[in-house]
Amino acid sequence: MKLAKDYASVMGRNNEIMKDALELNYEEFESGELRFDYEELMKSTGYTLEEVERIQRLWGVGHTPMLELRNLSKLARKYAKPGYGATILAKDEASNPSGSFKARRAACAVHHAKKLGFKGVMAATSGNYGAAVASQAAMQGLKAIIVQECFDSKGIGQPEIIEKARRCEAYGAEVVQLTVGPELFYTYLSILEDTGYFNASLYSPYAIAGVETLGYEIIMQCRERYGKDPAMIVCTSAGGGMITGTVRGARKAGADDTEIVAASIDLVGLSMASDKQFNLKSCTTGHTGFGVPYAVDPDHSDVPRSAARPLRYIERYVTVTQGDVMYITEALANLEGLEKGPAGNTALAAAFALAQELPEDEYVVISETEYTGAGKHIQPQLAFARERGIDIRFGDPQTEDKPGENIILPKDPSYIKVRDLDVDRMRRSFIRRACAKRDIFNPCEEDIKFLAEETNSSVEYVKEVLASLNK
């Protein structure tokens, strides 16, 4: 019998389509009105850290260099108080085959798809993950389809997204490009159902397991080279997979005292779902438009339960501006001889400021770099912004930055600062949303314990939040 393909019918078959496309029954992990067994979901991959590492080695993924950014570190010390200014290290994930850390996620997911006998893989992404899936599919002999939100309703596409589509096609993938709007998930589900391909989701447990090797390598490389763990790891935060996997890997290495900081570009005021505002941003990932929604509501992704659960692991969440990232990208090239893309440089801009808070004998690691070129380079991005009427000038990003109206480049490096987001407010939002979604505001003790784990808090904290919600 031919299945109805209208929007409501396809969306109504979401769980069945996902179950077939992952061969993973998420219902097996549901254990209460609110809770599910997250650790059992992660164990369901069947892959240990050592096995994931072996798989990644097969395809040239991982074991990337740790670069010491000596000149940027010296520059940061210039603006720190005496005795302060930690050394900044960069995990050079651009060395992976597709040019980003996303190759770690893709290698594991594509390997599993092949193991299960799928003929092809799919991913819904406008970012580096599409290139990673396409690259790994080519290596491992599978077909690939990448679905992107690329254009506004006038058919104008962002240079960075168009570059990533080019990269996907270069690896032999079919790229389906859409305008911004609700049709992305519907189209993705429909094609998954028609092709019978594997859902190589960013948010599957296979993808997150692939990132754990990154956190593990960072710790082991620091110990081998410097004889100590880094004081801080700064992770660019969008959908939450980077910080989730990095923390899990670092903990498996026994680094419980390393502070993990999430960093995003501040795009408060811009809606990622708005057709008019879609092209008013000069970065397509690593910003608050993804970072905050995915932290407070991780399960609005393309799987029933996301394995990327950043609020379980976030200790501190900071923001920088678009101008900060553009400036530090140029500084990295000029001072260190490294041209890298914007996502990793979001963490670098934050790390430049955060290093000044720490003593000189400590180390701050940015957890990634990514490739740059064509539309990903800052020059085409700035040119695109000018064409949209964005005012680009030097000034004080902290006081003058207005996302969608301007890009304020720092007058000098001392103007690169971080702003702390209110993580407590995010925890409260998570609890409120989780309860509202299931219409349960008096959960049982086990569900309360789950909410405490989800928000990296305590049972007492969750009860206090629930009491405020029930007033």
Residues 201-226 have pLDDT tens digits of: 999 999 999 999 999 999 999 999 99
For the stretch 383-441, pLDDT in tens is: 999 999 999 999 999 999 999 999 999 999 999 999 999 999 999 999 999 999 999 98
Report, in angstroms and rounded to the nearest whole number, the Rg of the chain calculated over CA atoms.
Answer: 21
93 Cβ contact partners less than 8 Å away, ≥ 6 residues apart: 64, 100, 101, 103, 214, 344, 367, 368, 369, 370
- Under DSSP, is residue 395 helix (H, G, I), strand (E, B) or coil? strand
- Show me where the domains of the chain are located: 7-35+100-205, 59-97+210-420, 423-469
Question: Which band of pLDDT confidence, cut at 50, 70 and 90, is reported for residue 118?
Answer: very high
pLDDT beyond 90 at 32 = no
422 Cβ contact partners less than 8 Å away, ≥ 6 residues apart: none
Task: State the SS3 of 350-372.
Answer: HHHHHHHHCECCCEEEECCCCCC
pLDDT at 236: 96
pLDDT beyond 90 at 44 = yes
Tell me which architecture the domain covering 59-97+210-420 has in CATH.
Answer: 3-Layer(aba) Sandwich (3.40)
CATH T-level topology, domain 7-35+100-205: Rossmann fold (3.40.50)
Residue 225 structure tokens: 């080279």
First to last CA, the chain: 51
d(CA 257, CA 230): 9
What are the phi and psi torsion angles at 358 (to 5°)?
-115, 155
pLDDT beyond 70 at 1 = no
Residue 238 structure tokens: 């969008």
Q: Regarding predicted confidence, which is higher, 90 or 150?
A: 90
Taking each helix axis as running N to C, give the angle between helix 49-58 and helix 205-226, from 0 to 180 degrees, rounded to the nearest 10.
90
Contact present, 142 and 112 (Cβ < 8 Å): no
pLDDT at 234: 98
Contact present, 212 and 42 (Cβ < 8 Å): no
pLDDT at 471: 67
What are the phi and psi torsion angles at 268 (to 5°)?
-60, 130
User: CB pairs under 8 A, 24+ apart, for 14-21?
Assistant: 14/189, 14/304, 15/304, 17/189, 17/192, 17/193, 18/199, 18/302, 18/303, 18/304, 20/193, 20/196, 21/122, 21/192, 21/196, 21/197, 21/198, 21/199
Percent of the chain with pLDDT over 70: 100
Contact present, 130 and 239 (Cβ < 8 Å): no
d(CA 316, CA 311): 10
d(CA 202, CA 240): 10
Please work out, in degrees rounded to the nearest 5, the angle formed at the alpha carbon of residue 407 by the alpha carbons of 272 and 388.
Answer: 65
Contact present, 113 and 200 (Cβ < 8 Å): yes
For the stretch 248-271, pLDDT in tens is: 999 999 999 999 999 999 999 888
Q: How deeply is 37 buried, as exposed, middle or buried, from its count of CB atoms within 10 A (0-12, 13-18, 19+)?
A: middle
pLDDT beyond 80 at 94 = yes
Q: Do domains 7-35+100-205 and 59-97+210-420 have the same CATH topology?
A: yes
Q: What's the pTM value of the predicted model, to 2 decimals?
A: 0.96
pLDDT at 251: 97
DSSP-assigned letter for residue 414: G
Contact present, 402 and 436 (Cβ < 8 Å): no
The distance of Cα 405 from the centroid of its chain, to the nearest Å, equals 25
Q: Which residue in this structure is represented by tokens 């074991």? A: 63
pLDDT beyond 70 at 367 = yes
For the stretch 135-185, pLDDT in tens is: 999 999 999 999 998 888 888 988 988 999 999 999 999 999 998 877 888
Write the DSSP string, 13-45.
Answer: THHHHHHHHHT--GGGGB-SSS-B-HHHHHHTT
Q: How many CB atoms lie within 10 A of CB 349?
A: 35
Q: Which of 93-107, 145-159, 181-195, 294-308 has the highest mean pLDDT?
A: 93-107
For the stretch 59-71, pLDDT in tens is: 999 999 999 999 9
Number of residues that make up the chain: 471
Which of 218, 205, 210 has the alpha carbon at shortest distance from 255? Answer: 218
Question: Which band of pLDDT confidence, cut at 50, 70 and 90, is reported for residue 292?
Answer: very high
202 Cβ contact partners less than 8 Å away, ≥ 6 residues apart: 105, 123, 125, 129, 239, 241, 301, 302, 308
